[in-house]
Structure 1
Amino acid sequence: MRRLAPYQSGLWLAEYGDVRCQLCRIYRSTPQFHLPQNHSSAIPPNNHSFFTKLRQHVNDRFNSGLLCSHCHHSLAWLPKPFEVDIAAGTVLSIQAATYYDYPIRQAIRAFKHHEDMTKLPLLLHVLRQLPRPQGCHRDNSVIVAMPTTNKRLVKRGFDPVSILAAQLSKHWHIPLWHGVERIDNTVSQQGLTRAERLSNLVNAFALIEIPPVKRLILFDDVATTGASLQALGRTLYSQSFSLVGLNSQSTSRYQLSAYALAHGSQL
């Protein structure tokens, strides 16, 4: 049996080792087959896979889900999408799975800042409420996770956005693309005003290769004002066309959309 990564162990422990609701921590969790299913686009797994059989065995044994029915229903309504400008006459639509409020806020902070992997199953449950972009599939789309700086990666020791994006990639069956890097001279966005966020993100990203497809799905964990996704979108919109030598009339060939785990104030 192959060795599980730490975050994978956290997934199993939290998902199958605790019968309390992972959100409110008060009521018992409800088996997933008792909960109404959201618009999932996942392809049925390979029933002959070892890990599929092991998961089914553990699921049958514990027969519990992640959330109580009340908390599950509280996450059933997606926030209204909001838009940010990325070029003259061009906007980027950002859809979040939930709001950055208590108790999701505490779960995200525990995962991001304290590497609490037991919060990951809850965050993935929330993330899976996002509908896959219409018309997008593995042959015409890629997911672009918000890149982090090398300095921040060394300091934190892991990249929470990449972990979430990898799970979203598996859920939607759309590959990740790592063609953008983040410059090390930017600071954390947390606690900054919108004007400070925009100023901090000027020239924060650089394209290192041409996008392989025309549909680019941007992803971040928390979209507060949308400034980070806006800056990333502007980089993809402008630099990708200069790399391939396209003129402004051809830029409509690329379609950009953005998704986030949560939307709201970080204060």
Structure 2
Amino acid sequence: MRHLAPYQTGLWLAEYGDIRCQLCRLYRSTPQSQLLQNHSSLILPNNSPSKQSLFIKLRQRFNGRFHSGLLCTRCHHSIVWLPKPFDVDIAAGKALSIQAATYYDYPIRQAIRAFKHHEDMTKLPLLLHVLRQLPRPNGCHYDNSVIVAMPTTEQRLVKRGFDPVSILAAQLSKHWHIPLWHGVQRIDNTVSQQGLTRAERLGNLDNAFALVDTPLVKRLLLFDDVATTGASLQALGRALNGQSKGIAGMNSLTSHQYDISAYALAHGSQT
């Protein structure tokens, strides 16, 4: 993941070096300088195992405060709504639940577009703050789950120069401590989903994904940046569930083999 280094550096600077809210640019409710001072005061001698154990516990507690937010309290409550999950069918009698962190409204809509289409790094800390509001799935951990980022096509990757969903998924993986899985490819013969109706989106995504590997865990956590109708996540869920037509080698998979759920940064509109 070497290509993530510049993004990680920018996020580190925003989180630890900037005491201002990443949206309104006023000071956060808890100044980072105060957190840094508290954090530095926890350094203990290396020759004391018991003290080191205490240090690790205290550091974890204060790290939680470090990562508690990149926005001030007012801005946080103005944009983080955690919409109610919605379901889409991926097989007979099986639905895929999709949970978004917020709605695709101002200012998140503008921030996603700026990052996605213009690689505007200044918007990434705001998106990361919202991303961290997604509830960690119950029972999911490093050994039994993987995050499956919505794959992009080679053509779109060359044109855009980077993969915004992979960048966000890597941050979610770090936040949840659940690894990414890259066993799905997106086929180049589909067009952009923007501006299409739900029926057109579903038709456009028919046979859009091909599996190049087999998941070795039971729980698959799909991720996309925006779930407008859920059609892309639905198609990906169908492919992983073995229900899409034309996916070679999927006949051996049964509908109950994987526990699949989906997550997105933003969904629809609140209005």
Q: Give the structure with higher Rg (CA).
A: 2
**CA deviations over 1:209-264 (Å, ceiling 9, x no partner):** 111111111000000000000000000001699737547xx421310000000001
Q: 1:239 to 1:165 in 2, by over 3 A?
A: same
Structure 2 distance, partners of 1:146, 1:199, is: 17
Kindly state the Cα deviation for residue 21 of structure 1 after the two structures are TM-superposed: 2.5
Q: 1:10 to 1:118 in 2, by over 3 A?
A: farther
Q: How does 1:1-267 map to 2 (within 5 A)?
A: 5-16=5-16, 18-25=18-25, 27-31=26-30, 66-238=70-242, 243=249, 246=252, 250-264=254-268
Q: 1:181 to 1:13 in 2, by over 3 A?
A: same
| TM-score for both structures, normalised by structure 2 | 0.79
Structure 2 distance, partners of 1:102, 1:24, is: 13
Structure 1 distance, partners of 2:229, 2:243, is: 23
Q: 1:239 to 1:4 in 2, by over 3 A?
A: closer
Deviating 4+ runs (over 3 angstroms): 12-20, 239-247
Structure 2 distance, partners of 1:119, 1:82, is: 27
SS at match of 2:180: coil
**CA deviations over 1:124-151 (Å, ceiling 9, x no partner):** 1111111111111111111000000000
Query: Any unmatched runs of 5+ in structure 1?
Result: 35-46
Query: Any unmatched runs of 5+ in structure 2?
Result: 35-54
SS at match of 1:253: coil
Kindly state the Cα deviation for residue 196 of structure 1 after the two structures are TM-superposed: 1.2
User: For residue 189 of structure 2, what is the amino acid of its counterpart?
Assistant: N
SS at match of 2:255: helix
More off after superposition, 142-151 vs 115-124? 115-124
Structure 2 distance, partners of 1:149, 1:253, is: 27
Structure 2 distance, partners of 1:227, 1:221, is: 13
**CA deviations over 1:73-113 (Å, ceiling 9, x no partner):** 23453100001011111110000000010001111111111
**CA deviations over 1:133-185 (Å, ceiling 9, x no partner):** 11111111110000000000001110010011011111111111011000011
| TM-score for both structures, normalised by structure 1 | 0.80
Aligned length: 238
User: For residue 85 of structure 2, what is the amino acid of its counterpart?
Assistant: P
Structure 2 distance, partners of 1:89, 1:65, is: 39
**CA deviations over 1:178-212 (Å, ceiling 9, x no partner):** 11000011111111111111111011001111111
Q: 1:31 to 1:189 in 2, by over 3 A?
A: same
How large is the RMSD of aligned CA atoms in angstroms? Answer: 2.9
Structure 1 distance, partners of 2:196, 2:264, is: 19
* Match in the other structure for 1:38: none
Percent identity over the alignment? Answer: 78
